[in-house]
Amino acid sequence: MSKHPSRAAAALGSAALVVASAVVGGAGPEPAKAAGPRRPTATEPRAVAGDKPPPPTVASTTIRCEKDSSGRTARLYDGPSASYLYDRRFSPGPTVPHEELRRHTPQGVAWWGDWNGKGDDLLLVSAHDQGDANGHLIGLDPREPGKVVGIVALGPTHAGALGLNGRWLFVDGPKNGSRHTVSSYRLDALRAELRAGGGSLDHDAQTTVYGASFLTADGRHLYAGRFNFHGYRDWMYRYTIQSNGKLTLDPKPGTNRGLRWETPASTQGVAKTGNRFLFSTSSGRDRRSNLYVTNAAETNLDRASPRCFRAPTMAQGIAVTPGGRVYLNFESGSYEFDGTSGRRAKNVIPGTHTARLGELTGIPGGTLRLGTLHSKKQQDFFGDDEIAVVVEGSKVGRTIDIEQGERKRIRKTVQFTGNARVRLYEKDDPDSDDYLGQHKLKPRRDGGILTFKRRGAHYRLSYTVR
């Protein structure tokens, strides 16, 4: 109910809420900033590896991550279920040994096919210790959960991300002031250490880059991006891998600026497979993670047909095998987050989960455009109604002050995964809000009018789904 006796003239909010961590149970969208959630500007830095782009600007659409779950304890992992979509696709994968988790925190993950020339594959997991004094590479046998092939020490580094191609392993290196570095290691040298059961390794090359919080290699190219600590979207750049392991920034065609992709807020891991990117996002021990699948041909996240669903807390690196298997790594099994030191994470997972790639890239979704809200009959007798439009559990834009007979344009775009539930509420401060009804929209071409009749109110909301 409106606090003001006369019709409020405030316009609708200008910024949509970008979900980069899950929405329910401490997971929701990242806290909104005063100017609304943001994405980076279109202005790009010059083609220098460490350049920092200007501050972000407002995102043009809302991205809703599917979060429907049983609300019960998960069947295959610790803690409450993340979502139906996640639980039906992922199962436990190789685990990190307890002795390693007592002192190190898992981060990145990479797949090394036929690592020893004998047809054996390897799952590499990076981990940092307290103070980043000595990062580790842990070689896990994907066929025998719990079997460790070897552990290699990397020296002082956070070891927060991994990327691997036919000749080189790339690791998030020490920070260079406000800039990041990527350390390059020859696979031949790593192979020798692992065959010996473990050892230590020095990098062969190091490149200063804009961000190295998450990495993935695709042939002669390395993709490297930055985790944004302020809850905004950020950037991922593409580099060409030189014969000596150094990286050179690829220019955007027709410019001398770097080629980059907009990434979800709180991105922790990335994998590229064909024309798809997979992003894992997380932020803290209480908030759920999200898993995104996007069109790699589109550098603007809003236009990249993102599909997104909720995952357990503290997801980190993600890797895809040539055979179409996905591995998602978690840091929650570490001594830092398992209750040994500090509060326990919502989900404690001592290693990786795995799924088939086709079950992630084939999830349906759509783009919902909200048009005009028409008040056929308002609920309040005095003053205006204050209407909140809620899609998949989160309000879209600001509360709408509207009186009987009036029409207000919403003009908001929401990208959703699975189905989209649209609800209307009439705000009653300080009492609980009045629920005016719900409609469930499916991911198919559709359009028309949604009618909400409840508690004496009658509202009509125009929409399209593409």
Which tens digits make up the pLDDT trace of 299-311?
999 999 999 999 9
Statement to judge: residues 222 and 143 lie in one domain: yes
Question: Does 105 share its domain with 253?
Answer: yes
* Mean pLDDT, the chain, integer: 88
374 with 347, same domain: the answer is: no
Q: Are residues 213 and 165 part of one domain? A: yes
- Say if CB 351 and CB 106 are below 8 A apart: yes
Within-domain flag for 9 = no
49 domain-assigned: no
Same structural domain, 313 and 211: yes
Q: What is the pTM of this model?
A: 0.86
pLDDT in tens for each of the 466 residues of the chain? 433 333 333 332 333 333 333 333 333 333 333 333 344 433 334 444 444 554 454 578 889 999 999 999 999 999 999 999 999 999 999 999 999 999 999 999 999 999 999 999 999 999 999 999 999 999 999 999 889 999 999 999 999 999 999 999 999 998 877 889 999 999 999 999 999 999 999 999 999 999 999 999 999 999 999 999 888 999 999 999 999 999 999 999 999 899 999 999 999 999 999 999 999 999 999 999 999 999 999 999 999 999 999 999 999 999 999 999 999 999 999 999 999 989 999 999 999 999 999 999 999 999 999 999 999 999 877 789 999 999 998 999 999 999 999 999 999 999 999 999 999 999 877 667 899 999 999 999 999 999 999 989 999 999 999 9
- The CATH number of the domain holding residue 400 is 2.60.40.150
Q: In the listed set 361, 376, 402, which residue is the last one of a domain according to the structure?
A: 361
Of 344, 361, 378, which marks where a domain is finished? 361
Print the domain residue range for 238.
56-361
Q: Which of 79, 125, 82 is nearest to 105 (CA)?
A: 125
236 in a domain, yes or no? yes
Whether 139 and 64 map to the same domain: the answer is yes
Q: Which of 361, 391, 410 is the last residue of a domain?
A: 361
- Is residue 282 domain-resident? yes
How far is residue 81's CA from residue 406's CA, in Å, rounded to a whole number? 43
Phi, psi of 53, deg, nearest 5: -75, 165
Cα(195)–Cα(214) distance, integer angstroms: 27
Does residue 183 lie in a domain region? yes
In this structure, are 199 and 97 located in the same domain? yes
Question: Are 347 and 244 members of one domain?
Answer: yes
- Total domain count for the chain? 2
